[in-house]
Copies of this chain bind each other. A is one copy, B any other.
Amino acid sequence: MGRWEPDARDRLVRAALDLFDEQGYENTAVAQIAERAGLTKSTYFRHFKDKREVLFGGQDELVELLVEGIAGTPEPAGALRAVEGALVAIAVTFSEERRANGPRRLAVIAANDELRERNAMKMAGFSNVMQEALRQRGVPELDAAVAAELGTVALRVAYDRWLEAGGDFAEVARRALEEVRLAAAALEGAE
């Protein structure tokens, strides 16, 4: 594989991020991204299923790691401990290079409805995947839903902090999850 100029996919990602940054997502045509990467529209759509996906690559890998992280947490462990295992498992993908591009990527996404939509779907996907993995362990439906949802809250918080301050993502995530748990436990109900 890779008989021609290598890294076509990477070149597309870089070209897209640059162009979105320079002139905005909506003002950038797929053909333009391809051109800057030395390719054509056809080739772009062979690598990414639509215009947005160039910003959301690697999601499949994260999903796999989340599932493995939950399934691989030794029994007996509560649902939230398994979620912690999932967050720790994805830490390997949080490289320095990813941290460097993070803010630029976030800024592009935040500036466009279509992209925010895709991001919401991504997050919901993470939650669903964790919920399903928890149910596979025998966690009851509602508990799985709650634990998975709190896990994604922690994931968002941890990601923000990690972009801000760096450090070991696994540690940041563990702390965030514990804070979320305490906040949830402190909620008063109807009396």
Q: Which of chain B's residues have a CB closer than 8 A to the CB of A123?
A: 120, 124
Stretch of A6-14, A16-24, A97-105, A144-152 contacting B (4+ beta carbons < 8 Å): A144-152
Q: Interface residues of A: mostly helix, strand, loop or mixed?
A: helix
Given A124-B124, A149-B149: A189 and B80 within 8 A (CB)? yes
Stretch of A37-45, A62-70, A165-173, A179-187 contacting B (4+ beta carbons < 8 Å): A179-187
Docked-complex contact A142 and B179, CB < 8 angstroms: yes
Give the size range of A's interface with the partner: 35 or more
Identical subunits present: 2
Partner of A143, one of B145, B174, B183: B183
Given A123-B124, A142-B157, A146-B180: A187 and B79 within 8 A (CB)? yes
Q: Mark A73-87, 1 if CB is under 8 A from B, else 0.
A: 000001111001000
Docked-complex contact A81 and B190, CB < 8 angstroms: yes
Given A117-B120, A121-B120: A190 and B84 within 8 A (CB)? yes
Given A121-B116, A185-B185: A142 and B180 within 8 A (CB)? yes
Docked-complex contact B146 and A78, CB < 8 angstroms: no
